[in-house]
Structure 1
Amino acid sequence: MQATEQDSKKRHPMNRFFTQFLAACLMASTSLIVAAAQQPPGTSSDELVRAALQSLQKADTDRLGELWESGSSVLKSRVPKTTFIETTRKARLSMGPVTARDWSSVARLQYRAGNESGFPAGLYANVDLVTQLGNGKSASERISFAMENNSWRFTGYVIAPPTPSSATPAAPLAPATSSAPATRTTQLAPSSASDARAPEVEAAVHAWAAAWSARDVGRYLLAYAPEFTPANRQQSRKNWEEERRARIAGKSTISVTVQGLAISIDGQTATARFRQTYRADDLNEVGRKTLEFQRSGTQWLIRKETAGV
Structure 2
Amino acid sequence: MKSCTAHARRHLAATFLAFCAVTAHAQPSAVPDPNTWLNAAQQAVQLIDQNRAGELWEGGSAEMKKRVAKKDFVASVKKLRGVDAVTAREWVAIERSQLAARPDVPAGQYVNVRFRAALGKRAVAELVTFRQEADGGWRWMGYLVQ
**TM beyond 0.5:** yes
Structure 2 partner of 1:69: 58
Alpha-carbon distance change, 87 to 121 in structure 1, aligned in 2, over 3 angstroms: closer
1:218-248 deviation per Cα after TM superposition (whole angstroms, max 9, x unaligned): xxxxxxxxxxxxxxxxxxxxxxxxxxxxxxx
Structure 1 residue 40: Cα displacement: 4.0
Larger Rg: 1
Say yes or no: does 1:84 pair with 2:73. Answer: yes
Task: Report matched runs for 1:210-229 at 5 Å.
Answer: none
Alpha-carbon distance change, 98 to 63 in structure 1, aligned in 2, over 3 angstroms: same
Task: Report matched runs for 1:10-159 at 5 Å.
Answer: 40-94=29-83, 96-112=84-100, 115-117=101-103, 119-135=105-121, 137-148=122-133, 149-159=135-145
Q: Name the CA distance, whole Å, in 2 between partners of 1:155 and 1:42.
A: 15
Secondary structure at the aligned position of 1:157 is classed as: strand
5+ residue gaps in structure 1? 1-38, 161-309
Identity level (%) = 36
Extract structure 1 runs of 4+ deviating beyond 2 A: 39-42, 115-122, 132-135, 148-152
Secondary structure at the aligned position of 2:71 is classed as: helix
The answer to whether the 8 A contact 1:74-1:119 is kept is no
Q: Name the CA distance, whole Å, in 1 between partners of 2:29 and 2:123.
A: 33
Alpha-carbon distance change, 98 to 83 in structure 1, aligned in 2, over 3 angstroms: same
5+ residue gaps in structure 2? 1-27
Structure 2 partner of 1:35: none
Aligned residue-pair number? 118
1:142-199 deviation per Cα after TM superposition (whole angstroms, max 9, x unaligned): 1111122444311111111xxxxxxxxxxxxxxxxxxxxxxxxxxxxxxxxxxxxxxx
The answer to whether the 8 A contact 1:101-1:130 is kept is yes
Alpha-carbon distance change, 61 to 118 in structure 1, aligned in 2, over 3 angstroms: closer
- Give the counterpart letter for 1:154 in structure 2: W
Q: Name the CA distance, whole Å, in 2 between partners of 1:90 and 1:76.
A: 19
Q: Name the CA distance, whole Å, in 1 between partners of 2:128 and 2:102.
A: 22
TM-score (norm 2): 0.70
TM-score (norm 1): 0.35
Structure with a larger share of its residues in helix: 2
Alpha-carbon distance change, 100 to 76 in structure 1, aligned in 2, over 3 angstroms: same
Question: CA RMSD, aligned part only?
Answer: 2.2
Q: Name the CA distance, whole Å, in 1 between partners of 2:118 and 2:105.
A: 32
Which structure has more RCO (C-alpha within 8 Å, separation ≥ 6)? 2
